[in-house]
Each structure stands twice: as C-alpha cells, then as structure tokens.
Amino acid sequence: MTRETIDSILLWDWDPIGIADISLARDEYQNYTKTLQSLLAQRAQKEMIAQILVEIERNEMGLTGDLPRALRVAEKLLKLKP
C-alpha cells in the first residue's frame, strides 16, 4: 500500500468537501494519509478508521460527518495490500 494509493482513495472516494475535480486541490487530503497508513499498519478495525475520518470531517473541516461514507472508505482502505 502506498501513500499515493491512500491519497487517491481519500480524494476520489471520501472527498467530504467535494474538490476531487479541482486539479489545484489535488493535495488537499494528503495531511491525513500518514495517519491512515499508520492505522492500516496497526491493523485497525473498519469502525476505528471510519471514526477517525468522521472526526477529521468534524474537527478539521467543520462538517457534520458522514459515517456511512466513512465506513465505505474504511472498507476500501482495508482491502489494500500491506
């Protein structure tokens, strides 16, 4: 699993602020990639990864958080090969 793959999933599958189609915003979610890579290396459960994504949405972005989307993204991240 590479940071680029995680970043791509965050951009195209998670994208809580809807910027995937804006080429200048390509690096918007890269600050969260290392945290997720660490969680995956620790074999975190889907629910824990999703909760972290929701907390980022709420605490970093001021959004309400979308748990169903976060769970889908967490599931996709967990399918990546270590």
8 Å CB contact between 19 and 10? no
> CA 35, CA 16: separation in Å to the nearest integer?
17
Residue with tokens 């980022």: 56
Quick: pLDDT tens for 56-73. Answer: 999 999 999 999 999 999
Q: What is the pTM of this model?
A: 0.92
Q: What is the pLDDT of residues 11-57, one digit of tens each?
A: 999 999 999 999 998 899 999 999 999 999 999 999 999 999 999 99
Helices (H) and strands (E) in the chain, counts: 4, 0
